[in-house]
Structure 1
Amino acid sequence: MRILLSLVLLMISPLSQAQAALTVEQVAPGIYLHFGEHQLPDRNNHGAIANIGFIIGDQCVAVIDSGGNPQQGAALKKAIEATTDTPVCYVINTHVHPDHIYGNAAFKAENVHFIGHYKLARAMVTRGQYYIDKAAEQLDIELTADNLIAPDMPVKKHMTINLGNRELVLTAHRTAHTDNDLTVYDKKTDTLWLADLLFIDHLPVIDGSLKGWLAELERLEKQDYHYVIPGHGPLVTDWPAAMQPQKKYLTLLLHEIRAMIAQGKFIEEAVKTVGRSERQNWKLFDQFHAKNVTTAFAELEWED
């Protein structure tokens, strides 16, 4: 059963400077999560749409994703301070997408290390100026390069950090959701923080490799976990059953796009027809499905 602890905190709105509430829930002993909403990032939510949170050890706190804007990062920091006197030692970014990294600057301090996939720094550099340019227009927030803090502890394959009587195993994955996906496994509670390698109810979004993502899911579903935390959606207590709708959707894309390529069909037709049977099963389908088909088609048309 989920242990509920709601903390109402202050967060300054980039638009109105009004007070807003940020809640965190203790979803497993020492693991606290703020649940995002299934929304497009926009000027109303200011990009604060993802699941973010923290894990508390005897000596250190590890932040897992810092939020979709600097103010949410500050609110998450206040949530930690209201929960524990244990200092933050690590900020772990699970991948480069804005809803997971824009709160980083709130945690910048001399004794805080930033951790990410070894390809995350390059992704931040590649996308950084675009992110900064679009933040004001799309999210109504002001960003500078200082908000995009690259990892000083990159993970090539695996890394274990100890928070004090609590070990976290960090894994850098092959290209899947993105080319810089990182997951966090808490040994103490048998919890896998899967981040955006798992979407529940929200349509999965491909920004990396369809085949790579399916390969990672097939490997992960062979493991047993007591809890799994998705990047978007509720806490999972029935792994791997909860992952099957996402696997089904991605597998359908794979098979239908391959069939169209074999028939000599073009990407424009694929966008109109592929995967449409899944439309009623996902939130934000219309917003992301066409991009998924386009990305997957570009990948599959060059496979051997």
Structure 2
Amino acid sequence: MFEALVTLCLLSDPGLCRDALVVGGEAETRAGCEAKLAQVVVPQGRWSTGQPFCAPRGAALAFEEVAPGVFVHSGAVAEPDEANRGDVSNIAFVVGREAVAVVDSGSARWIGEATWRAVREVTDLPVRHVVLTHMHPDHVFGATAFEGAQVMGHAALARALADRAENYSESLEGLVGAEAFLGTAAPDVTVEVAEQVEIDLGHISLELEPWPRAHTGTDLTVKVGDVVIAGDLVFDKHTPALDGSVLGWLAALDRLEGQGARVVPGHGRPVLEMTEAIAPMRRYLEVLRDDTRAAIAAGERLGEAVEHVAAGEGAHWALFEAYNKRNATVAFTELEWD
């Protein structure tokens, strides 16, 4: 199998380049691939591009089939860095009889490209939908690799990304390195989801549901049969990251628990029993809420409170030092006037 590639080089550093996948140029033979080169769409941005060319298919991300037609990749439970190149969040794709939907897309375009290859190892059906579960960059920045697909997200997602894309890009590029980030740009949301909608892939349907403010103000879940792809409404192993409302998140968990037997979390293992996944999430958020309320009632200032709020949870979660104080800050700000 061959695929179309194009060499991208930073305009500010022409010696820093990488070969990027150009979707739509796949073929069984090199000649078949070369016949498609005139039709492929080359990614544009703050980089220069060479002429598209054909090469043997590159490396795909590893995915596990967790239910019929539902495939999940588990990112590292880690902060994005040069070693993992930003591959730190879970990604899913769902294959129907007529089309494919990808759910989340990773921190950089190269992850979207490697996901495209993984899809092509399973099916030649078109990828018609890329569903983004929330605004955080480790879930959305690979989406531009899926040329021609609808990019779907919460009704508030487009504005949230517009407000944050520049800062997100600068931060991620600094963490993963310029080469890994080459070709990456914030996606345009083409379908805003303001209420429950259904996507028919042929034989398999996806139920998309936007949520009130919880993990963020842009959370959206995807239900496929008895499996809920929850994005970061559910964390496994990785310390939950609060960027919305602790009270709203607890309310969301109560509703989520009754929606499916199994759940694909945004970080951690590829799939868990719903009750197994929800219990530690609820415990952490309840401790965060209760410790914060106690600190406020005791007249503590924010700087004092964040040093101990939910500290007893540290043994249960990875990356606790990186996230818990930030969570305590968000919870304190919310509950101070509760």
- Note whether the superposition's TM-score is higher than 0.5: yes
TM-score of the two chains, using structure 1 as the length reference: 0.89
User: Shift in Å at residue 163 of structure 1?
Assistant: 0.5
Q: Secondary structure, in 3 states, of the residue corresponding to 1:26? A: strand
Please state if 1:153 is matched with 2:191: yes
Q: Which has the higher strand share?
A: 2
User: Shift in Å at residue 224 of structure 1?
Assistant: 5.2
Write the deviation string for residues 168-200 of structure 1: whole angstroms up to 9, x where unpaired: 11000011111000100013xx11101100001
Residue 266 (structure 1) aligned to one of 301, 306, 309:
301
CA distance in 1, matches of 2:227, 2:288: 29
Q: What stretches of structure 1 move > 3 A for 4+ residues in a row?
A: 14-21, 141-146
- Counterpart in 2 of 1:225? 260
Please state if 1:171 is matched with 2:206: no
- Counterpart in 1 of 2:162? 125
Larger radius of gyration: 2
- Counterpart in 1 of 2:312? 277
- Counterpart in 2 of 1:44? 83
Identify unmatched segments of 5+ residues in structure 2.
Answer: 10-15, 20-57
CA distance in 1, matches of 2:323, 2:188: 27
Identify unmatched segments of 5+ residues in structure 1.
Answer: 1-10
User: Shift in Å at residue 37 of structure 1?
Assistant: 1.0
Residue 26 (structure 1) aligned to one of 53, 59, 65:
65
Distance verdict in 2 for CA 1:233–1:301, change over 3 Å: same
Please state if 1:216 is matched with 2:252: yes
Please state if 1:139 is matched with 2:176: yes
CA distance in 2, matches of 1:122, 1:224: 28
- Identity across the alignment (%): 39
- Counterpart in 2 of 1:245? 280
AA aligned opposite 1:118: A
Count of matched residue pairs: 289
Residue 143 (structure 2) aligned to one of 104, 107, 111:
104
- Counterpart in 2 of 1:180? 218
Please state if 1:256 is matched with 2:291: yes
AA aligned opposite 2:222: V
Please tell me whether the aligned partners of residues 104 and 131 of structure 2 are also in contact (alpha carbons under 8 angstroms): yes
Write the deviation string for residues 137-161 of structure 1: whole angstroms up to 9, x where unpaired: 2221466997211221111021111
Distance verdict in 2 for CA 1:235–1:23, change over 3 Å: closer
- Counterpart in 1 of 2:43? none
Residue 295 (structure 1) aligned to one of 318, 326, 330:
330
AA aligned opposite 1:278: E
TM-score of the two chains, using structure 2 as the length reference: 0.80
Distance verdict in 2 for CA 1:70–1:235, change over 3 Å: closer
Residue 203 (structure 1) aligned to one of 239, 242, 248:
239
Q: Which moved more, 1:258-267 or 1:143-152?
A: 143-152
User: Shift in Å at residue 234 of structure 1?
Assistant: 1.3
User: Shift in Å at residue 236 of structure 1?
Assistant: 3.8
Distance verdict in 2 for CA 1:237–1:140, change over 3 Å: closer
User: Shift in Å at residue 244 of structure 1?
Assistant: 0.6
What pairs up with 1:73-92 in 2 under 5 angstroms? Answer: 73-92=112-131
AA aligned opposite 1:167: S
User: Shift in Å at residue 302 of structure 1?
Assistant: 1.7
User: Shift in Å at residue 20 of structure 1?
Assistant: 5.8
CA RMSD of aligned residues (A): 2.4
Q: Which moved more, 1:144-153 or 1:15-24?
A: 15-24
Distance verdict in 2 for CA 1:21–1:169, change over 3 Å: closer
Distance verdict in 2 for CA 1:24–1:236, change over 3 Å: closer
